Amino acid sequence: MWRQKRLVRILVEKDELDRKLFSTEQICNWYSVDHCQLGGEARNRFLSLQMDEETNEFLSASLIISNSFCLQVYYSLFTSLLSVFLAKTSINGLLHRGRMFIFSHSHLKVFLAIPDDWSPIGRQLLDIGAGDGAVTAKFASFFASICVVEASKVMEWRLARRGFTVLPMDKWQRSGPYSLITALNLLDRHHVNVFESKHSFIYHRFSDPKKLLNSLRELAIEHNCPILLSVVLPIRQFVEFDDKIVSAGRKLPASDIPTKGTTFEAQVNSMIQNVLEPNGFEVIRWTKLPYLCEGDLSRAYYVLDDAVFLLNAMPYHTHGEPTILEYGVTQRNEL
């Protein structure tokens, strides 16, 4: 009897919370920013997007999944069992749960300024930290070929099943050519494991935000392509271990992301001034989007505020010279 009452209480509380989650006021806040709090650079480069049908379809599907009691019990049971020897990312990949959503097809088209006569022929995308490929798949109609990099072996399997070209963790820095490089919600999430070389163990660059940014910049300069970077703000760095040899001796990211401020807007200002520009990036445009995740027995969905940046990688020795925005805005804006 006690368990039945507790279950009823959980379901009633979920229903009340879900009503709030689907309110117009809640959803409108996902895309809005306080322009008064933005610095000049951030204010001038901001592109406002809105809720659309594809995003709404994801939310509706997530609500159905979260309301499926038997499915959620199954997820909970096997997550507990698998957590003994698998990282959370790999568990989600194995169970095919926790799908993510950042942008719709139409959002991408507007944000990347893709024209109606766009042809994917001869264009290749690199997505680093691709997860299960659900977000990566949004790019499929814009690029003839998609290469992906992922730390989780289970997610690599999922990505290969989708038809993407999976690159080894230690090879993507020397791959290409590319028309666009993406690193979505990767900078603050560090999946630390090791691969063995002839002489030593090497930590892959997902574990160090500064090295990751440098590798992205070098590859983008080599292929003369922009970078699509997203990060949840305010920053909360997180390390997910996938190898006991690492987790025993390393519990923090190899370097910090030096953002400041308590509001989303203050963090955007700091992200541009303290992280992107010092590391050789120029902001072409940016937007605010909801980073959505499928829900569970507690709620219909989970959401975080995502800052999405389209970046131009600048060679350090060319500071003061004309930028891509000055002599090639059409070429870069259209990839």
Say what the pLDDT of residue 207 is: 59
pTM of the predicted model as reported, rounded to 2 decimal places? 0.83
Report the distance separating Cα 28 and Cα 32, nearest Å.
7
Which CATH architecture group holds 2-333? 3-Layer(aba) Sandwich (3.40)
Residue 153 has pLDDT above 70, yes or no: yes
Report the distance separating Cα 223 and Cα 179, nearest Å.
7
**Six token digits for residue 307:** 């800052």
Question: 264 with 235: CB under 8 angstroms?
Answer: no
Say what the pLDDT of residue 335 is: 61
Say what the pLDDT of residue 327 is: 28
Q: Domain residues of the chain, as ranges?
A: 2-333
Report the distance separating Cα 54 and Cα 237, nearest Å.
30
Among candidates 30, 201, 190, which has minimal Cα distance to 104? 30
CB-side neighbour CA atoms (13 Å) of 40: 0
Residue 197 has pLDDT above 70, yes or no: no
Residues, the chain: 335
Q: What's the whole-number mean pLDDT along residues 235-240?
A: 66
